[in-house]
Amino acid sequence: MGNAIKVKGFRIAGTHCGLKPEGKPDIALLVSDRPCRAAGVFTVNKVKAAPVLYDQAILAQPDAQVRAVITNTGTANACTGDEGLANTRRSAELVAAAVGCQPDEVLALSTGVIGMHLPMDRIAQGITDLAGKLDTENGTEGWADAAAAIKTTDTRPKFASVQTPDGYTITGIAKGSGMIAPHMATMLSVIATDADVPGDLLARALSAAADGSFNRITVDGDMSTNDTVLLLANGASGVTVANDVAFAAFTTALSNVCVELAQAIVRDGEGATKFVTVHVTGAADKNAAKTIAHEIANSPLVKTAFYGGDPNWGRIFMAAGHAGVEFDPARLALWLLNADGSPAIQLVAGGCPLNYNEPAAIALMQTPEWGFRLDLGQGDAATWVWTCDMSHDYVTINGHYRT
């Protein structure tokens, strides 16, 4: 990833407040110097964390305006009842007092262990420290610090930026490594732009961008209680997204940022050694393609074969077959793809194996990035999903997540 690009009118910082051991950064704050229009997309898990419920309620208000986003690690503040909601509100109140806005202009994100309450004394100290850092830091260092502060099992910070020819900037940070599955892909992300975007268009752009990025990634098939992507627009660039052409350009730029962040999450998947694109084509409809692609991408047997570099294509067929979608196995075809998506080796035609070069297939699957295409021979619908392999390290990381 390149350097984050500063967004006009926004200040951001990350610091350590004792939520993580050994002085690691663990809390971050983004503040706009002026009110922002805001949009969000959230987990569809029936078990939603307190900050998800809090943010959804704020953004549901007509003409909601946002000035700040506070993000903590260490505890997800999920399954914490009324006390969890009260602690989220208290965090917003503390931020509001520190930066000079109203509590209902502050959104909150949390990530970490489910079932633990926020340690409010540490949160309060962190907010005080962050407010001081906002006044002293310039340039892009704050974005890097904040990206580092929101990590959990991530091995590296994730940020992306686009500076558009129209004169505005979009910069975002994200965290995510495990418990990743659409809808939404398990993660947190905060994206800021200095474009002036009407609220309805902002929500439409974020929904479209998320559908082509965060909702197309999976690491392990498990959906979090905290998934949130927030988009804030403060208009400080003076550029207004006012017509269809400008909206299309804005959506494309936003999508580019979201794709970079989403792919970074998969590449940093817990224990991952390979980035794999799953293409499903020839489906009867889009939903059928999507269902089969996700079933394959989430299969432990498929993902362990990816890890071993084993072209055991029968596992892909097996996973497709239990997706609950009607198709004719005798029409299936399968190709391995190069990292750029071009066909490399055809493994199956008409539902039966071809006399392909297995050593070449193994060599391709042992590289860090590749893909495959399964054609169902049913119609014209197609889709894709980004996934990764599943290694021994995934079990190690998650077997000792709290211990």
Which range is least confidently modeled, 144-153, 193-202, 341-350? 144-153
Task: Reply yes or no on whether the pLDDT at 140 is more than 90.
Answer: no
Look at 291 and 3; give whichever has higher pLDDT. Answer: 291
| pTM score above 0.85 | yes
pLDDT band with cut points at 50, 70 and 90 for residue 136: low
Instruction: Look at residue 93 in the predicted model and tell me its pLDDT.
Output: 98
Instruction: Look at residue 266 in the predicted model and tell me its pLDDT.
Output: 87
Task: Reply yes or no on whether the pLDDT at 141 is more than 50.
Answer: yes
* Angstrom distance (rounded) from CA 157 to CA 26: 12
Which range is least confidently modeled, 134-138, 268-272, 389-393? 134-138
Task: Reply yes or no on whether the pLDDT at 178 is more than 70.
Answer: no
* Angstrom distance (rounded) from CA 197 to CA 250: 9
Distances (CA, A) of 219 to 83, 172, 264, 284: 32, 21, 12, 26
The architecture of the domain spanning 10-267 is 4-Layer Sandwich (3.60)
The mean pLDDT value for 272-286 works out to 94
pLDDT band with cut points at 50, 70 and 90 for residue 225: confident
- Domains in the chain: boundaries: 10-267, 275-399
Pick the closest to residue 110 from 129, 96, 128, 90 (CA basis).
Answer: 90
Q: What percent of the chain has pLDDT over 90?
A: 77
* Angstrom distance (rounded) from CA 88 to CA 156: 27
The mean pLDDT value for 11-40 works out to 95
Instruction: Look at residue 185 in the predicted model and tell me its pLDDT.
Output: 42
Catalytic residue among 164, 186, 281, 387: 186
* Angstrom distance (rounded) from CA 212 to CA 31: 27
Share the mean pLDDT of the chain. Answer: 91
- Measured at the alpha carbon of residue 204, what is the angle toward residues 41 and 207, in degrees to the nearest 5? 35
What are the φ and ψ backbone dihedral angles of 66, each rounded to 5 degrees? -125, 140
Which range is least confidently modeled, 260-274, 296-310, 314-328, 370-384? 260-274
Give per-residue pLDDT as tens, 158-173: 999 999 999 999 999 9
Task: Reply yes or no on whether the pLDDT at 42 is more than 90.
Answer: yes
Task: Reply yes or no on whether the pLDDT at 293 is more than 70.
Answer: yes
The mean pLDDT value for 235-246 works out to 96
The mean pLDDT value for 44-59 works out to 94
pLDDT band with cut points at 50, 70 and 90 for residue 218: confident
Instruction: Look at residue 390 in the predicted model and tell me its pLDDT.
Output: 80
Task: Reply yes or no on whether the pLDDT at 3 is more than 80.
Answer: no
User: Tokens 């996973």 sit at which residue?
Assistant: 319
Which range is least confidently modeled, 48-52, 136-140, 356-360? 136-140
Domain covering 275-399 assigned CATH 1.20.1740.10 in the classification: no
Q: Is 186 a catalytic residue?
A: yes
What are the φ and ψ backbone dihedral angles of 44, each rounded to 5 degrees? -105, 10
Cβ neighbours of residue 124 closer than 8 Å, sequence gap 6 or more? 94
User: Tokens 């309620």 sit at which residue?
Assistant: 57
Instruction: Look at residue 119 in the predicted model and tell me its pLDDT.
Output: 97
Most trustworthy range by pLDDT among 47-56, 218-227, 385-394: 47-56
Task: Reply yes or no on whether the pLDDT at 323 is more than 60.
Answer: yes
Q: Do domains 10-267 and 275-399 have the same CATH topology?
A: no
Task: Reply yes or no on whether the pLDDT at 64 is more than 90.
Answer: yes
Task: For the chain, give the longest Cα–Cα distance.
Answer: 69
